[in-house]
Structure formats: structure tokens, C-alpha cells
Structure 1
Amino acid sequence: MQRPIMTSPAFLRVPSSPASEADLPVAADLADTLAAHADRCVGMAANMIGVSKRIIVFADEETGRTMTMFNPRIIAQAEPYRIEEGCLSLTGMREVTRYQRITVTYQDRRMREHTAKFDGFTAQIIQHEVDHCDGVLV
């Protein structure tokens, strides 16, 4: 089910709580909401639909599929660069530091833990969404 986009900076600044299997419906709503905004959005975190849980959904440039991560955590990063980013929840563009290559630990829909490496634009999307989980506004 598509949900409205949260635009309250006060809400978005609060770090999200860990997600569990009970949050699978939130992940489905998040994917539906991302699909509804695919013309201008490539990733979303659960707090962007008003749910303060550590769940992200994004378009994986390498596979061409939408990927869901529960409790993502960036554990390594390399090759910093500066770039301007926008956000569906906020107006305007802001300059941020991102990393060309990252390593992420996360859980899948069955709560199995994974570690994966990402680079390029997909890595940038993940960093933006993990910032949302951490309460960091871009």
C-alpha cells in the first residue's frame, strides 16, 4: 500500500529503531511507495513513510531490481567525494560527502544476516537511506 511521504524534519531527525519480522508489512508499503515515486526517487527509508524502523528499499543499479534491507549498517567505506543530493522528504539540494565503495551488513526478509559490497550510484543511494535511518538529514 502506498503511504504519504513524511516531511517533518523533527520526525526525520530521530534515529530509527531496529526492525524485525513484524515489520515485513512496513517493507512492503515502503516498496509500493517507492514504486509510486519511481519517476523521481530511487530509494526510501521507512521513516520517509512515517515509520521509525531501520528498513530501506532502493533500486539496485547492478541487478535492475528493487532491494530491501532490514537493519542496514555501513561497516566500511572508501574513496570519498562531494555531491549534491535531493530528497523526496525535503525541498532543495544539499552538498554531502559520499563514498564510491561501501560494505554493508543487513538482514533480508527472513532476518538472515548478509554482508555485501556496493559501489557507484547504488552505494550513494544506500548511504543516503542509511543516513535517514540514523536521523541524519541531507
Structure 2
Amino acid sequence: MVREICRDEVFLAQKAEAATEADLSVAEDLLETLIAHKDGCVGVAANMIGVNKRIIAFVDDGEYRMMFNPAIVKKSGPYDAEEGGLSLTGTRKVNRWKSIKVRYQNRAFQERFKIFTGWPAQIIQHEIDHCEGMII
């Protein structure tokens, strides 16, 4: 189900709780919401649809991907960027990393590690910030 985008800054500023297998339906809603906003959006976190869980969905080289409980475990190549988002008006300056290694769980809740670079890495960092309650 496509959900409404949450713009409540008090809610968005909360740190997300760990996702569990009971949250698989939330993840499906998150993915459907991302696809519905594909013209102006490349990633969403569960708190953006009003659910305070550590789940993100994003576009990676044209494919939709989902991560449960993502965390950056290694990073390199700092740079400055400017980003916007569905839950905010306008853009803001942020610091990002060119390369990140992410620990996450897949849909079967198996732990995985993957290195991302460039644009996908920036998207993931933005969505993990949402999980941490950071509003860019």
C-alpha cells in the first residue's frame, strides 16, 4: 500500500527501532511508496511513512533494493553535497562519503555486508540518517 509521506519533524527526529520479521508488511508498503514517488525520489526510510522502524528502500543502478537494520561499518572519501527529500522543503548541505561498507539484513533477516560507492552510497547515507533521527 502506498502510504502518505510524514512531514512531522518531531516524529522524524526520533531514532528508529530495530526492524523484525513482523515488519515485512511495512517494508512492502515502503517499497510501494518509493515506486509511487519514483519521479522525484530515489530512497525512503520507514519513518517517512510514519513507522519508526529501521528499514530503508532505495534505487541502486535502476533496481529497487531494501535493507533491514542497516548500519555503516566503514567509510572513506569525505565530500560535501546538497540534498533534499520528500519529507522536507528545499535542500540542505550535508557531508557524505564516496565509499561505504554497510551491514544490513535482507528480507530473510540474514546478515549481509556490501560496499557501495557514488550515488547509491549517497542515497543509503541519506536514508540511514533518517533511521538515526537526523533531519538533513
TM over 0.5: yes
- What CA RMSD, in Å, does the superposition of the two structures yield over aligned residues? 0.4
Number of the residue aligned with 1:16: 16
Deviation at 1:78, TM superposition (A): 0.4
1:58 paired to 2:61: no
Counterpart selection for 2:127 from 110, 116, 129 = 129
Number of the residue aligned with 2:34: 34
Number of the residue aligned with 2:5: 5
Tell me which amino acid in the other structure corresponds to 1:71: N
Deviation at 1:34, TM superposition (A): 0.3
C-alpha separation between the residues in 2 aligned to 1:85 and 1:117? 22
C-alpha separation between the residues in 1 aligned to 2:131 and 2:103? 14
Deviation at 1:87, TM superposition (A): 0.9
Q: How many residues align?
A: 136
TM-score (norm 2): 0.99
Where does structure 1 differ by over 3 angstroms across 4 or more consecutive aligned residues? none
Question: Equivalent pairs: percent with the same residue?
Answer: 54
Q: Deviations over 1:73-100 (max 9, x none)?
A: 0001100000110011010100000000
Deviation at 1:26, TM superposition (A): 0.3
Q: Deviations over 1:93-133 (max 9, x none)?
A: 00000000000000000000000000000000000000000
Secondary structure at 1:90 match in 2: coil
